[in-house]
Amino acid sequence: MSKRIIGSTPKQDGYRMPAEFEAQDQVFMIWPERSDNWRNGGKPAQEAFSNVAAAINQFTPVTMLVSRAQYQNARYQLPEEIRVLEMSNNDSWVRDCGPTFIINDKGEIRANDWAFNAWGGLVDGLYFPWDQDDLVAQKVCELERVDSYRTSDFVLEGGSFHVDGEGTVLTTEMCLLSEGRNPHMSRVGIEDMLKSHLNVEKVLWLGDGIDPDETNGHVDDIACFVAPGEAACIYTEDTNSPFYEAAQDAYHRLSEMTDAKGRQLKIHKLCCPIKNVTIKGDFKIDSVEGTLPREDGDICIASYMNFLITNGGVIVPQYGDENDALALRQIQEMFPDKEIVGVNTVEIVYGGGNIHCITQQQPSA
Amino acid sequence: MSKRIIGSTPKQDGYRMPAEFEAQDQVFMIWPERSDNWRNGGKPAQEAFSNVAAAINQFTPVTMLVSRAQYQNARYQLPEEIRVLEMSNNDSWVRDCGPTFIINDKGEIRANDWAFNAWGGLVDGLYFPWDQDDLVAQKVCELERVDSYRTSDFVLEGGSFHVDGEGTVLTTEMCLLSEGRNPHMSRVGIEDMLKSHLNVEKVLWLGDGIDPDETNGHVDDIACFVAPGEAACIYTEDTNSPFYEAAQDAYHRLSEMTDAKGRQLKIHKLCCPIKNVTIKGDFKIDSVEGTLPREDGDICIASYMNFLITNGGVIVPQYGDENDALALRQIQEMFPDKEIVGVNTVEIVYGGGNIHCITQQQPSA
């Protein structure tokens, strides 16, 4: 039902990726279960995912994708209003393995189905195999009867870029120029792919992200667009913060940037947690060769930036940190007309990501 | 997303099962793959299922449900217009394990989700386990956002009954009174379940079906409604036919029946194939303890009655038999306004069923 479009690009066909703050029809998530990534058999993470799903569902219908093994449990754990569908997966990061939807001016919707290699493939990917994750985008397109552009020779994850919906894309060099993704392509070649498949004119490059080991520095932990001409960026003056250098660099680069429309970007600062969230030695995480080990004291990538904007709401990570309330206030100022909903996502950040990483919005066509 | 409705019945809530000749939104199928049931690794059956799907898709959109293992192959083999979705299953008889959809006068749709036990459970069922089949109806309801009535303590298969959409259900004693289904219930208790869940007033009982071993005599191999007040019935005067006795009995019972509206039924005769379709000794079928063995010379249940009525079309089994053309003509006379499409389904009948058994329509609400 979902056609593979061959021989043209979204730009040629008049499709663009809308910004996250534009209208959405639904949000996809994938149920967590890998016991070599989620502690205690995934049970604490499943509870946290359920809370995130319920929060989103106040604003936008949620479809939860779940493996055969966990189907009945997920259906039972989740509120009845959440749609629960079977779909195989290798882990639960639908932002990165799911489709990137695009729309045109006639009210039609299509999608980009990027090649996915678990954040670096055999170079520095996080697990093997990733075959089922790489099918998620296609299966979602079949589900929703959406035609797609498959980029078999171009690896990209949804969490590695943000668009403003008006011709600008924001990304990081650390990720998009990494050895494990598209080493055969030049920076200009990569820019061309972003331009043709997201239908943008200008690529804004940040340097490093705060998550070099897992995602090679996805932008969605450090910055995003909050409105046309306005971006948010994590900010800390605490030189002891593990995120200090990347945050400072991102903030100063962003402050000097203009977007595709020629606007000087207005930058909103977003605080970081005061205390580190760390892996505890007593976590029960299965040992499996080839997956990233979790060790006592490892610092998790706890950023408030990894929120989801979804219609009238913004769903924001909370860590039980002193700065939780400040983060909510700062985000409320960025989105004066939206309801800001905090959800404790410590259990999700233990697994390597957060609310933005585990969600993928389907925009309204 | 799909609610389980507790404490009432479709009849109480104003929902009825529409006749198959009423309008349909889509048809579900399940991709065949069991190598202990389908010969040669299921490859010939997959081709036949593809042909059936393509024929239906001329009239009604088809959604093909397929296991994780066969997903990519099914997507490749099927025409692009067919929607292909992942769903675990134990075999491919969605008529029997899928939902029975019901509609009300306000344009709303719900479904019955009957308990499924592989045609007889531990008494005389065809395989073990059947846990994934028993989840198919619920998963389809989730998929289409349809609320359902689950009858955990009442076993029923969609192929064991037909309705006229005007208060009448047609079934067989051989199946519904079998030991492997609802031995705890009386005939009257079973009638009450049919009445309350299909919203009918009258149950018409035939005796034996022609398929005692596999389905315990499903009605969909011997008779169906073709219009209000009109039924079709297989008919043969060949006393050597394995179907002779059941066909004669069904024909004579039907000829004396009146429906819920008090109409004497008009009965259309439908021929049987002249030659038996039989299992050949050189079929490569995996040996697995507990499944029904296939032996050289076993007679297959090759009935022309196992067709699907779907909007402007009727999709009819063909066997390369001398009577193929006659069957098409007789069915054309039953449905003068519909297009009759024959599909060779010898490979499907080898596996124990036919077009009606492998399809489940979702009526238009």
Question: Which sequence spans correspond to the domains of chain A?
Answer: 10-363
Q: Are B48 and B350 in contact (CB under 8 A)?
A: no
Q: Measure in Å the smallest separation between the Cα of A198 and chain B Cα atoms.
A: 25
Average pLDDT over residues B253-282: 96
Give chain A's residues under pLDDT 50.
none
CA distance B302 to B279: 12
Least confident range of A334-343, B282-291, B329-338, B346-355: B282-291
pLDDT of A2 reads: 86
pLDDT of B294 reads: 81
Record: contact B87-A86, CB cut-off 8 A: yes
Q: How many helices (H) and strands (E) does chain A have?
A: 11, 16
Q: Helix, strand or coil for residue A357?
A: coil
CA distance B360 to B100: 8
Q: Measure in Å the smallest separation between the Cα of A107 and chain B Cα atoms.
A: 21
CA distance A294 to A297: 9
pLDDT of B295 reads: 86
Q: Are A88 and A132 in contact (CB under 8 A)?
A: yes
Does the interface ipTM go beyond 0.90? yes
pLDDT tens digits, B154-188: 999 999 999 999 999 999 999 999 999 999 999 99
Q: Are A69 and A31 in contact (CB under 8 A)?
A: no
List the single residue in B with minimal CA-CA distance to A3. Answer: B80
pLDDT, mean over chain B: 97
Q: Helix, strand or coil for residue B292?
A: coil
Q: Measure in Å the smallest separation between the Cα of B87 and chain A Cα atoms.
A: 6
Q: Which residues contact B283 (CB under 8 A, 6 or more apart)?
A: B39, B40, B294, B350
A contacts of B53 (beta carbons < 8 Å): none
CA distance B251 to B223: 9
Chain A interface disruption, residue of B1, B25, B78, most A CBs within 10 A: B1
Write the CA distances from B59 to B313, B327, B336, B363, integer angstroms: 6, 20, 16, 13
Record: contact A139-B88, CB cut-off 8 A: no
Q: Are A63 and A361 in contact (CB under 8 A)?
A: no
pLDDT of B282 reads: 84
Record: contact A142-B68, CB cut-off 8 A: no
CA distance B54 to B268: 28
Taking any CB pair shorter than 8 Å as contact, residues of chain B touching chain A are 1-3, 61, 63, 68, 71-72, 75, 80-88, 132, 135, 138-139, 142-143, 145
Taking any CB pair shorter than 8 Å as contact, residues of chain A touching chain B are 1-3, 61, 63, 68, 71-72, 75, 80-88, 132, 135, 138-139, 142-143, 145
Q: How many CB pairs under 8 A join A and B?
A: 57
Residues of B labelled catalytic: 357
pLDDT tens digits, A222-265: 999 999 999 999 999 999 999 999 999 999 999 999 999 999 99
**pLDDT at B1 exceeding the cut of 80:** no
pLDDT of A84 reads: 98
pLDDT tens digits, A258-302: 999 999 999 999 999 999 999 988 889 998 887 777 889 999 999
Record: contact B86-A83, CB cut-off 8 A: no
Q: Are A332 and A342 in contact (CB under 8 A)?
A: no
CATH number of the domain located at residue range(s) A10-363 in this protein: 3.75.10.10
pLDDT tens digits, B187-200: 999 999 999 999 99
Q: Which residues contact A211 (CB under 8 A, 6 or more apart)?
A: A217, A218, A221, A301
List the single residue in B with minimal CA-CA distance to A84. Answer: B142
